[in-house]
Amino acid sequence: MLRRTQTADPGLNGKPYLVVIIRFSSSRSFPVTVFAGSTIRELKNEIAEKQNVPASDLRLILAGQSLKDDFKLSKFYFRCGHHESSSVDETAIPLNHIKPNSRLVECITCAEKSTLVLVFPCSSGHAMCLDCFQNYGVTRLNNRTFVNVENVGYSLPCPAGCENSFVQEIHHFHLFGDDQYERYHRFSAEQVLLSEGGVLCPRPGCGNGLMLNTEKRRIHCQPPVGCGYLFCKQCLEEFHEGECGMVPVQPPLTDDIAVDEELAERSRWEAETRDVIQRTTKPCPKCKTKTEHSGGCMHMTCPQCKFQWCWICAKDWNLDCQGSHWFG
């Protein structure tokens, strides 16, 4: 299931609405219009009426996660973190992995120092520029190697192979662009179907998803949702009697993301953090809280205990400090 949005329309009583793109197959989709805030249950009823299928037979999947009937639909758009909400009903989803590259960390794959980077949540905090992140994601999509992560959905790990490094919010994948983000959702729905014993209709131009409740080899991609094709469950060829023919072995896929060990060491976000803290902070002489000096005079005020002290002398601020090295 994919989501698109439209603005309020006088034809819908002036209420904001959503145009939800529903996909039963890899090649066929159709729009369903519902009011913003509608539930998945209400959306299922609209789909059932359009497609002449029982609503109880429908299951909606987004990013590899089945959507519960009481889940409410909403629109998505990018905005600056300082933007004020226009409605009390809006919910912000911060893209916490995207950071301004104030530490000038090198990208783990291209070694460039970009303005913005995506920082993976691994212990090393490897950083990747957004262009490389897009290429990385599209490559993994092409090879169908996204990983289903519990309570997250299909996600990407750090390309260095670090543990506990999966992107934790799927909205980061909007950075792939609209077409690739649509492919991402199509892939995740198909993977859920296949992992639960379903099949995709192999007829070119169809790709309809079928959940099977039979052990028989003869599978019918049944209209009106399907194309009517009869195929063999085992070999996915047109249905036949007797044994299936030999299926050629496909070479293994690779993600084609080369990570240099030395570059991976230089692109560690947390390592840069420690270096920056060491260069720009000193402990308060009174409470030992690390205090940053980012320019200006040497007169410091501890943010924790409010003690006033000298950055150079590391002692109580006095007239001697003010006279000899107020500005360094």
**Residue 290 main-chain phi, psi, to 5 deg:** -65, 130
CA angle at residue 115 from 110 to 121, to 5 degrees? 70
Residues whose CB falls within 8 Å of the CB of residue 36, separated by 6 or more in sequence, listed in order: 15, 16, 17, 18, 73, 74, 75
Count CB-CB contacts under 10 A for residue 51: 16
Residue with tokens 């639909």, as numbered in its chain: 73
Type of residue found at 253:
L
Decide: 108 and 264 in contact? Cβ < 8 Å.
Answer: yes
Task: Yes or no: say if 43 and 54 are a contact pair by the CB < 8 Å rule.
Answer: no
What's the rounded Cα separation, in Å, for the pair 259 and 246?
Answer: 38
Is 297 in the active site? yes
Side-chain-side CA neighbours of 35 within 13 Å: the count stands at 9
Catalytic annotation, pick one of 110, 232, 235, 297: 297
Task: Return the structure tokens found at 120.
Answer: 């993976």
Cα distances (Å, whole numbers) of residue 252 to 147, 160, 249: 17, 19, 9
- Contact present, 120 and 126 (Cβ < 8 Å): yes
Q: Radius of gyration over alpha carbons of the chain, in Å?
A: 27
* Contact (CB, 8 A) for 8 and 37: no
Q: Please list the active-site residues.
A: 297
